[in-house]
Amino acid sequence: MARCGVGMRSRSAACRFWVVGLLAAVALSGCVRGRDDGHGKAHAASTHRDASPSRLIITGSSTLAPLVAEIARRFEQLHPDVRIEVQTGGSSRGIRDVSTGAADIAMVSRDLDESERDLTAIPIARDGVCLLIHKNNPVTSLTDEQVIGIYTGKIRHWEEVGGLPQPIVVVSKAAGRATLEVFCQYFRLREDQIRADIIIGDNQEGLKAVANHTGAIGYVSLGAAEYEAQRGLPIKLLPSRGVPATTDRLADGSFPISRTLNLVTRGEPSGWASRFISYCCSEHVHDLVEAFFFVPVVR
Amino acid sequence: MIWWKRSSSSLLSVRGCRRFVDRLLGGAGLLSALLGASLVIWMLGFVLVESWPALQQIGPLRFLTDTAWYPTLGRFGMWPMVVATVVVTIGSVVVTTPVALGSAVYLRFYAPPVLAGLYRRVLWVLAGVPSVVYGWWGITALVPMIGRFSPFGFGHSLLAGVLVLSIMTLPLAALTVDTALGAVPRDYLAAAAALGLGRRAVAWQVAVPLAWRGVLAGVLLQTARAIGETMAVLMVCGNVVQLPVSLFAPVRLLTANIALEMGYATQLHRSALFVSGLWLLVLAAVLVWAAQRLERECT
Amino acid sequence: MSPDAPPGIRVAIELERLTVRYGPVVAVRDVSLAIPPCRITAVVGPSGSGKSSLLAAINRLVDLVPGAVVSGRVRIAGQEIYNGLTDVDELRRRVAMVFQRPNPFPMSVRRNITLALREHGVRRRELLEAIVHRVLHDVGLWEEVGGRLDYPAHKLSGGQQQRLCIARAMALDPEVLLLDEPCSALDPLSTAKIEELLRRFRERYTVVLVTHNLAQARRLADYVAVLWQIEGEGRLLEFGPASDVFENPQHELTRAYVTGLTG
């Protein structure tokens, strides 16, 4: 009898526990929905723009965002009366936000097209992607057609492109990565045409995967690859269209698999936006640009 | 109801005070229980809210019926990842259970007490090793080793995932199984010994069958925990979204999917990743439910 | 020693200055006893007098207790059991034990009985079945459980479980049956059934029955040993034929105990 009583009691306690928990959850998820609403944030913030301290809203490419955020931090230390807010959402969102006035500056990781002529693009860095293979692989170069063949699964053995008799291990990047975007754009591939054996996230994993397999081919950010190759990682950077993959060639614009990273404003930049963009182009931030494996644009 | 008693004598006022403390503690208990419950449900609500746009615009069915996962191209097939997650989990349970059982039986029935104590401490230390370390070991030692046997020429594979997961699971699984064996009533062990059963028979014929459900429940729970430790699995599995056709084929687990793409995903892609999270929650719930059922039937 | 022991051997179990210590605690000190074969010997005394320790020393189950030390001699059919030559598992097959609380393994009725048999080398299916039938008949469970040998043992009643435990022990064809208060957890009806069993077994086994139920000892025992806790240590007060101990006790404490004044 006593035993039964205990059982009943704990059951009713458990019941109460869940009911109250459920109520709390409903309330909380209501909060989440109300607060977290994508673009609304930028709009809301921009209406306060005139209030002091001054506020800069920067939105756009997730490739550029980490770099710009770092530069912004440094800029804020120099100018304590400015607050800079950096949000991602893709280059297109950046352009849209700048056009509507929701943002002051857009981060755009491509060149502007014809329809966007009312905007001003200022390049702050270049981003290059290079193909790499294992150091012991005797292959020294691949044509663009060969690379396309390999990445679409038509070429499966190194012998077919003048290498050793071993299968090709194709290393590619996960969806959404800027490197993948640049790679696909350059070789005119769609993501779903790529037949990969190993899919990696960041550059380090890609470098490691290629260094571990003599039969591997991969592509990573040029800056990162050059840095690791110089430090002795057994990898080989392949030239593209005869241009060696070095940051010098990237900086002078001759390395083909690359893109320009721009800051974009509506009309000519003015005020704090202008000062920030100038700062981004100055030598004071070259160390940061290089830390993210981009190359600074030299004027 | 009690106040008149409190005033009637000093003894009763002590009792009243105790009752007050009781209530205080009860209240605090209820509060923390509430907090725990609402956190869990808040998290669930959060994942639901975040995945809602994808569920609404893509439709829940397409996550199963789409033939491939190219979220940036509007293809959201998640089924291969669900299958891979289940297969790797089952594989890990199959590998872990006998080893954990063997080591726990050794601890309980064979090892001299001093050695057993030492061994347990080593297991605790191993259990505390961060998953990245196991991942690093996997990528530098295990993956190249598997690569040597693999028909595909590289080691990033389902097998590597299973093995790394098993090794991560083993220490705590062995300790849980040890506890399960320890919970076998002494009565049974005494009865077995009094029947002249040797140590081997007492352990394997009596203790293990009695603790069996507890053993499996322990391994299941530890596996559920380990699969959440994404880093190690991410590093060794190859992350290609495909059905696990071979032990040596690369696969992508749901956890890895989130970790790989979340940082760079926007809009529907991002929302679709939360659907991966939803799937994971479902799988984890199934595992925990199975473990609890086993444990309940065990007692 | 076997049930039909040669008439020359009058002593089944011989304890000589048996002392059992658990670390600093002395459970039993200097007990010397000669337990005769094919009789029921009851060990009685108040709790804490070392009855169970004495019993556990006879099949060396005391070995399982960490820190337990046994000194003195225990001989079964003339063979010393506390030396390196003794095969403990074989000893426990010959000296079976039934515990205070029924403890059948949570398996089927059949498997409860065959588990130990298999471990002791009985593999033939027909033989195993035959033994299961025989021992279940012997304890009167066959009729009650009937054909349901796959019935889970823990779903039997307490009394049935205890009889299954006895059957499980008997399956190994032991020579000595040690029972540690086998009825203390049972109702009177089940107790009566077990006592009936023991009366029938008297001819076949040397039975040592620990009990604190004096009435039960009177009903069953041929010989009685009275243990007492003196200065924190279990001592033997008196040993002899049941009639002597109950009708004409030699010791003051025994007299008070058996007449229900103390204990």
Same domain, B248 and B123: yes
Q: Give dist(CA A210, CA B154) in Å, integer.
A: 11
Q: Is there a domain that residue B8 lies in? A: no
For residues C194 and C163, the answer to whether their CB atoms sit within 8 Å is: yes
Same domain, B52 and B90: no
Beta strands (DSSP E) in B122-214 are: none
Q: Give dist(CA B3, CA C177) in Å, integer.
A: 62
Which residues of A fall within a CB distance of 8 Å from B147? 212-213
* Mean pLDDT value across residues B270-296: 85
* DSSP β-bridge partners for residue A121: A264
8 Å CB contact of B70 and A88: no
Beta strands (DSSP E) in C77-163 are: 79-80, 95-98
* Mean pLDDT value across residues B161-181: 89
Q: Give dist(CA B181, CA B153) in Å, integer.
A: 43
Q: Is there a domain that residue B240 lies in? A: yes
CATH number of the domain to which B198 belongs: 1.10.3720.10
Same domain, B243 and B275: yes
The yes-or-no verdict on residue C93 having pLDDT over 60 is: yes
Question: Which residues, other chains included, contact C165 with Cβ-Cβ below 8 Å and sequence gap of 6+?
Answer: B191, C98, C99, C102, C103, C104
A29 CB near a chain B CB, below 8 Å? Answer: yes
CA distances from A39 to A35, A43, A116, C88 (A): 11, 7, 21, 80
Same domain, B43 and B87: no
Q: Which pLDDT tens digits describe chain A residue by residue (299 residues)?
A: 333 333 344 444 444 444 444 444 444 443 333 333 334 344 434 444 444 568 899 998 877 888 999 999 999 999 988 999 998 777 778 888 898 889 999 998 877 877 788 889 999 998 888 999 999 989 888 899 999 999 998 999 998 988 888 889 999 988 877 788 889 989 999 888 899 899 987 778 888 889 888 889 999 888 888 888 888 889 999 998 889 888 888 888 888 888 888 999 998 888 889 999 999 999 889 999 888 888 888 65
Same domain, B251 and B153: yes
Q: Report the chain C residue with the minimal C-alpha distance to residue B201.
A: C119
| Residue type, position C39, single letter | R
Q: Is there a domain that residue B1 lies in? A: no
Q: Report the chain B residue with the minimal C-alpha distance to residue A171.
A: B238
Q: Is there a domain that residue B7 lies in? A: no
Q: Is there a domain that residue B107 lies in? A: yes
A268 CB near a chain B CB, below 8 Å? Answer: no
Q: Is there a domain that residue B5 lies in? A: no
Which residues of C fall within a CB distance of 8 Å from B193? 61, 64, 92
What does the pLDDT read at residue A26? 41
DSSP helix/strand/coil, C233? strand
A199 CB near a chain B CB, below 8 Å? Answer: yes
Same domain, B237 and B134: yes
What does the pLDDT read at residue A44? 39
The yes-or-no verdict on residue C27 having pLDDT over 70 is: yes
What does the pLDDT read at residue B11? 56
When divided into structural domains, chain B yields a total of: 2
Tell me the torsion sign for CA atoms C228, C230, C232, C236.
negative
Complex-level ipTM: 0.82
Same domain, B78 and B40: no
Same domain, B21 and B152: no
Question: Which residues, other chains included, contact C210 with Cβ-Cβ below 8 Å and sequence gap of 6+?
Answer: C42, C43, C44, C51, C52, C54, C55, C178, C179, C180, C181
Mutate to test the interface with B, among C64, C98, C164 (most CBs of B within 10 A): C64
Q: Show the tokens assigned to C184.
A: 């203390």
Same domain, B135 and B172: yes
What does the pLDDT read at residue A152? 92
**Over the stretch B124-158, which tens digit does the pLDDT of each residue have?**
998 888 877 888 888 888 888 888 888 887 888 89
Q: Is there a domain that residue B4 lies in? A: no
DSSP string, A134-153: ETT-------HHHHHHHHTT
Q: Is there a domain that residue B6 lies in? A: no
| Residue type, position B87, single letter | V
What does the pLDDT read at residue B282? 87
Q: How far is the alpha carbon of B155 from chain A, nearest alpha carbon, in Å?
A: 9
DSSP string, B12-40: HHHHHHHHHHHHHHHHHHHHHHHHHHHHH
8 Å CB contact of B191 and C99: yes
Mutate to test the interface with B, among C100, C115, C170, C178 (most CBs of B within 10 A): C115
Question: Which residues, other chains included, contact A173 with Cβ-Cβ below 8 Å and sequence gap of 6+?
Answer: A179, A180, A183, A199, A200, A201, A206, A219
CA distances from A33 to A42, B42, B53, C162 (A): 16, 12, 12, 64
CA distances from B292 to A6, B22, B88, B297 (A): 21, 31, 21, 9
The yes-or-no verdict on residue C207 having pLDDT over 80 is: yes
CB contacts < 8 A (A, B): 122
* DSSP β-bridge partners for residue B238: B251
Tell which B residues from 173 to 232 touch C, by Cβ distance under 8 Å: 185, 187-198, 201, 205-206, 209-210
What does the pLDDT read at residue A50? 44
| Residue type, position B248, single letter | F
Same domain, B199 and B81: yes
Q: What distance separates the 2 farthest-apart alpha carbons in chain A?
A: 89
- Global confidence as pTM: 0.73
Same domain, B27 and B164: no
A20 CB near a chain B CB, below 8 Å? Answer: yes
Q: Give dist(CA C186, CA C193) in Å, integer.
A: 10
Same domain, B37 and B126: no
Domain that holds residue B52: 13-57
pLDDT over 70, % of chain C: 95
**Could you tell me the pLDDT band of residue B200, with boundaries at 50, 70 and 90?**
confident
Mutate to test the interface with A, among B234, B264, B268 (most CBs of A within 10 A): B264
8 Å CB contact of B194 and C168: no
Q: What is the mean pLDDT of chain B?
A: 84
**Over the stretch C9-25, which tens digit does the pLDDT of each residue have?**
456 888 999 999 998 88
